[in-house]
């Protein structure tokens, strides 16, 4: 009989089978090591419990300054502004040091406290994939438009016909509208001259509108920019208006639009390629 085996015995079915005994589990840790491990676990639980309790106490007894914001999105924008001003301060000094970083933070907080800017509503949600597609399209449009304008400058023939074209967008947030305007301004050949804030109307100077095809290409570009910015920042299913939505109207004392007697609608229709040259404001 081998060690660790039990003598064979009768089974209910009459057969005989050798049954092996499982070896007892013997701990290889000494009493001192086990005491240290248990003490470490209890210490982690103790620290985690008091850390969570401290966070709950701070949340219920601490109030953020008014200039920092009233919700998480506003606080995020303010913290990003402080970080950006600190980064610019360090760049101006040209040396990365703790003194410059701390001085930049103090200066940024002082600027936001003493010279507060109008609150910008932060609405919607960022979608990284749609934003990445938008950035890639911006780079492609930048290079293609640069080549087209360069060819226009050296090719023989009559100079291109520029015009101011009116186009309406369905972007709701002021911040997203500003980003869309920056997009159009970065692409060579287009420059936003005026923004009708109430009607969400843009007046854009287009470099070349000699044919209906080129005008249609411009409208397709604006439609793509509008669609991608809405997908990246303010989808209808995730749109949550900020409590500061419409603050620009209050700040600038913008009066509501009064409908004109006999007019069909108070809104201006979106421009089309067949818009007359006088309506487009040819330059």
| Residue 120 pLDDT | 63
Tell me: the pLDDT tens digits for 200-209?
899 999 988 8
| Residue 159 pLDDT | 82
Residues 177-183: what's their mean pLDDT?
A: 90
Tell me: the pLDDT tens digits for 41-90?
888 888 989 888 888 887 777 666 666 666 666 777 788 889 999 999 99
Integer Cα distance of 249 and 245 in angstroms? 9
More confident residue, 248 or 183: 183
Residues 148-167: what's their mean pLDDT?
A: 86
Per DSSP, 210 falls in state S
**CB neighbours of 268 closer than 8 A, spacing ≥ 6?**
166, 168, 196, 199, 201
| Residue 234 pLDDT | 82
Residue pair 208/160 in contact by the 8 Å Cβ criterion: yes
Tell me: the pLDDT tens digits for 258-270?
554 554 443 434 4
| Residue 178 pLDDT | 87
Tell me: the pLDDT tens digits for 213-238?
989 999 999 999 999 999 988 887 77
Q: What is the side-by-side order of every strand in the sheet holding 163-168?
A: 163-168, 201-206, 190-196
| Residue 98 pLDDT | 92
Residues 18-40: what's their mean pLDDT?
A: 68
Tell me: the pLDDT tens digits for 110-135?
988 888 776 666 677 788 899 999 99
CA of 235: how far to CAs of 120, 176, 183, 226, 230, in Å?
A: 19, 12, 19, 12, 6
Long-range contacts of 16-24 (CB under 8 A, 24+ apart): none
| Residue 260 pLDDT | 47
| Residue 199 pLDDT | 85
Integer Cα distance of 217 and 235 in angstroms? 25
| Residue 242 pLDDT | 61
| Residue 119 pLDDT | 64
Tell me whether strands 5-10 and 201-206 are parallel, antiparallel or unpaired.
unpaired
What does the mean pLDDT of the chain come to?
A: 76
For tokens 């979106």, name the residue: 270
Count of CB atoms within 10 A of residue 153's CB?
9
Return the biggest CA–CA distance within the chain: 112
| Residue 280 pLDDT | 38
| Residue 11 in this model has a pLDDT that exceeds 60 | no
Tell me: the pLDDT tens digits for 161-174?
889 999 999 888 88
| Residue 273 pLDDT | 39
Residues 137-146: what's their mean pLDDT?
A: 90
């Amino acid at each position: 009989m081998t060690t660790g085996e039990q003598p064979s015995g009768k089974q209910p079915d009459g057969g005989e089978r050798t049954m092996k005994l499982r070896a007892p589990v013997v701990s290889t840790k000494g009493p001192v090591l086990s005491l240290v491990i248990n003490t470490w676990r209890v210490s982690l639980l103790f620290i985690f419990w008091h850390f969570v309790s401290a966070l709950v106490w701070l949340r219920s007894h601490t109030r953020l300054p008014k200039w920092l914001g009233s919700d998480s999105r506003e606080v995020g924008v303010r913290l990003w502004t402080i970080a950006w001003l600190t980064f610019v301060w360090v760049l101006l000094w040209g040396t990365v040091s703790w003194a410059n970083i701390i001085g930049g933070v103090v200066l940024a907080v002082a600027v936001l406290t003493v010279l507060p800017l109008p609150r910008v509503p932060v609405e919607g949600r960022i979608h990284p994939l749609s934003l990445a597609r938008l950035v890639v399209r911006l780079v492609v449009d930048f290079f293609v438009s640069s080549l087209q304008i360069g060819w226009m400058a050296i090719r023989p023939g009559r100079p291109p016909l520029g015009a101011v074209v009116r186009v309406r967008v369905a972007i709701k947030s002021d911040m997203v509208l500003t980003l869309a305007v920056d997009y159009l301004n970065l692409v060579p050949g287009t420059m936003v001259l005026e923004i009708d804030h109430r009607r969400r109307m843009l007046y854009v100077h287009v470099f070349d509108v000699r044919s209906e095809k080129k005008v249609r290409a411009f409208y397709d570009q604006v439609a793509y920019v509008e669609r991608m910015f809405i997908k990246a920042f303010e989808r209808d299913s995730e749109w949550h208006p900020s409590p500061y939505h419409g603050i620009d109207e209050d700040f600038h004392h913008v009066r509501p639009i009064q409908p004109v007697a006999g007019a069909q609608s108070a809104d201006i229709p979106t421009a089309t390629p067949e818009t007359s040259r006088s309506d487009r404001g040819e330059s």
